[in-house]
Chains A and B, each alone.
Chain A
């Protein structure tokens, strides 16, 4: 039985995460896992990802990778995020909060947001976010990890993280992977040697060394050095699907800047006449991204805004078949989602953990690649659409935003919009990165008002609904006030050595 040799090209966050995902299950199997670690800035998650925002699902992924979350937070100069504040998408500078976790509780099959819609139809004014503990806590700068006791309203909380990608890689991902037996090869990638059948035979390093493997992982970022070299042999199969037509914003810049203010426990997204800006508090710093339309703002102005960071062309899109032949692309070599989707790391986690279950035996790969790519298409599609939602539902007056609104929604986004508009329901899809409740909250945060709410909600007793709504808001307000300040919480996490 011959254990495989796996060579990961590109030692950024995508490469080391993949190394970890493979190293754990394959420890003791004789599999050889090596990373070619190229010096220089980490672009493995794309040019806009020095700082990233993760989705709540990253908690499970980190657990599967054997990384306790507090160590991730510490190593990655991290901060927690309970959700996202969205300002300006409605054209009136009103802020809306997109809470993670749970909000309220379904009754029978009637979703909580449908109960709130019914109450609003009855003249109540409380919004969905008013019932969200995470929303109140975020506004007050407070944070807590949900307790196990399901009866405690704090159990409805959930969170993602803001992370400094390079810090996390250097301080945690790489050392843990090395400790697990992954080999590090320092050097730049030279030529990709192909066989006549379109498979990769070997990689040449800058210094002439030649590295062979059974499976090659392309974590080289947007340059996609490996899978890019396969495009000629595989044509459409390996090609890049460009999402430029879905957005009028064509330039972007990203930066991490020092910031000593207490980090807010949420991501701040603000729409502006020229585009949008995302702020991601870190511990002692903040990550920022701006994306804009070149016709409405000059690079210089953006650069000033971003402490000198140089804007570049936006290149969002994906490969439909990131696994082609004996090469699997991960990170920006496989997809560059719009940063508003907060999907960079979720896509790497999903791909790397799935790959670990599908590592082919030497010689085989077709059945595995088909399964891998099939699920990948669902995942990337959900990321594409989640970001697109804010383009399509914006109500800003500027021309560029009108253009964003008018982009034609691809399938299944068109159906998602239609069903929500009719009755506030989310279509059923599979293998997406966002759950139905979060989709519904995103629509509502953007001011979407369905023509009808769920008719079943009309069967619920109005007095009971009002009382429940009041009770939830009261519990949430009380719990929010009792939670620690986010800064204090972070200080404790950073001071401690063991798990909390």
Chain B
């Protein structure tokens, strides 16, 4: 008979109150309700949070739903907008633009995926961009939105969506949620972390005020510094900068313009890329770049010229190193968020990785007895999640024709992980996507980015020939029109989220 009466994990201390800290606090307070486990969170206003992280992937909706968060209230409170995908500008070539949508191309018809038919009918040359066969892309361009239909097989069921929100407001929202469910919040700076000299486990932290807080499980959400996982436990870091050389960012908010695009933009620069994330009340902007290839002044200059509205705050400068902790769960400490590793926000994955880690921690919540197997499982799973995102990010850089700067020459010619090389080979060869079951980005995302990065397969799935060519061509033409027409029938995104209209040049 299983027995939990001796469970030794009664007190959880979450260190840090950024997005990671409060998402974890919300998830744990919800998941552990009724168990008697006490949760405390320490954060320091003096230290503050990283202050960025506003664009997400669709999984965030399941996080909110699990907590029972009402969507309309959440959108209003966090000044959120809808996100149907990311527009990539200047990636494969200067002047290029494509959208990676949250949805598959074409319509489900039982045959090979639509891009095979598109390739068979002549691909980009004769058919034009595959974007024309994506409803979420048509919606994004028209700045229109309606939630997907749940009627299986319907064209309007072929997409998903995420949000762009004010991270500080989201953290505040989750803080209320967590506090209402018993999470005790402590303001104060942690000066010291005590490890048990025998086991190496963390035993307590000491605040500036002198208060010592003991706990059985520590969740390190302290940001890049990794207060417990790294500074105290010296877990070690796996450096991925040889594939992802960007190591700095400058972020700055600007005033809204007349447009309210339901998508994020990532425009490549000479040694990095600039993001634009439209929220209801402002636009988030930033430049992620590689310091080995571009100096700070140049990076800031490029960012400032890219702003479409007036700057609303001084620039926020950040440094990081792509990679992850060798163990994200070490002894009795689980690192979540920036404390666990960093992958640049090119595909807006960090918040998802927080969500995944918090969910998996709940799934494997320790008992203090024989947790090695759970720890091992957590570390393997999170490593796989990180590696799959990593490969997907590398693809954006490596699959390029750009040779205009040393940065692009470097990423275009660098050696890539085998796990990515074989995936690229399969797509290049015949347009097939290597399958996996777990991971943020599934087949349609890979197709979008391969094609957007100009990996045009040499051949298509032979089974595409089963439909007579004239018929396939006619169906593609009709579908293109249907998609364009359907998108134009949907409500404007601005009306949908209830955002006020901005007057160009001033804050809304």
**Residues on A facing B (Cβ under 8 Å):** 1, 3-4, 25-31, 108-109, 117-118, 120-121, 356-361, 364, 366-368, 370-371, 374-375, 415, 418-419, 421-425, 427-428, 430-431, 449-456, 458-461
Contacts and interface: CB of A to CB of B under 8 A. Distances in A.
15 contacts: A25-B111, A31-B462, A121-B1, A357-B112, A357-B463, A358-B432, A366-B425, A422-B373, A423-B373, A451-B369, A452-B3, A452-B7, A456-B31, A458-B35, A458-B36
Contacts, number: 160
B327 to A, nearest CB: 16
Nearest to A418: B373
Interface string B363-398: 111110111111011001100000000000000000
Contacts of B308: none
Given A357-B461, A371-B426, A431-B437, A109 B31 contact: yes
A443 to B, nearest CB: 12
Contacts of A430: 436-438
A460 B34 CA distance: 6
Contacts of A361: 430, 459, 462
Interface string B1-21: 111110101000000000000
Query: From DSSP, what is the main secondary structure of chain B's interface residues?
Result: loop
A121 B4 contact: yes
Interface of B: 1-5, 7, 9, 31-37, 66, 111-112, 359, 362-367, 369-374, 376-377, 380-381, 422, 425-426, 428-430, 432, 434-438, 459, 461-463, 465-468
A184 to B, nearest CB: 22
A454 B32 CA distance: 11
Given A367-B422, A367-B425, A367-B426, A425 B3 contact: no
B367 A452 contact: yes
A451 B365 contact: no
A28 B468 CA distance: 8
A422 B429 contact: no
B6 to A, nearest CB: 9
Nearest to B384: A428
Contacts of B462: 3-4, 26, 29, 31, 359, 361
Nearest to A419: B373
Given A367-B425, A415-B377, A117 B2 contact: yes
A459 B2 contact: no
Interface centre among A117, A425, A452 (most CB of B within 10 A): A452
Contact of A419 (B377, B432, B459): B377
Nearest to B427: A367
Interface centre among A4, A359, A370, A423 (most CB of B within 10 A): A423
A455 B367 contact: yes
B370 A451 contact: yes
Contacts of B366: 455
Contacts of A108: 31, 66
Given A3-B465, A109-B363, A356-B463, A428 B435 contact: no
B362 A26 contact: no
A31 B465 CA distance: 10
A367 B435 contact: no
B438 A452 contact: no
Give me the 8 closest cross-chain CB pairs, A-B, nearest first.
A459-B34, A459-B35, A25-B463, A29-B465, A453-B2, A418-B373, A419-B373, A367-B426
Contacts of B436: 430
A453 B432 contact: no
A108 to B, nearest CB: 7
Nearest to A2: B462
A451 B3 contact: yes
B430 A368 contact: yes
B313 to A, nearest CB: 39
Given A430-B436, A453-B4, A455-B365, A28 B31 contact: no
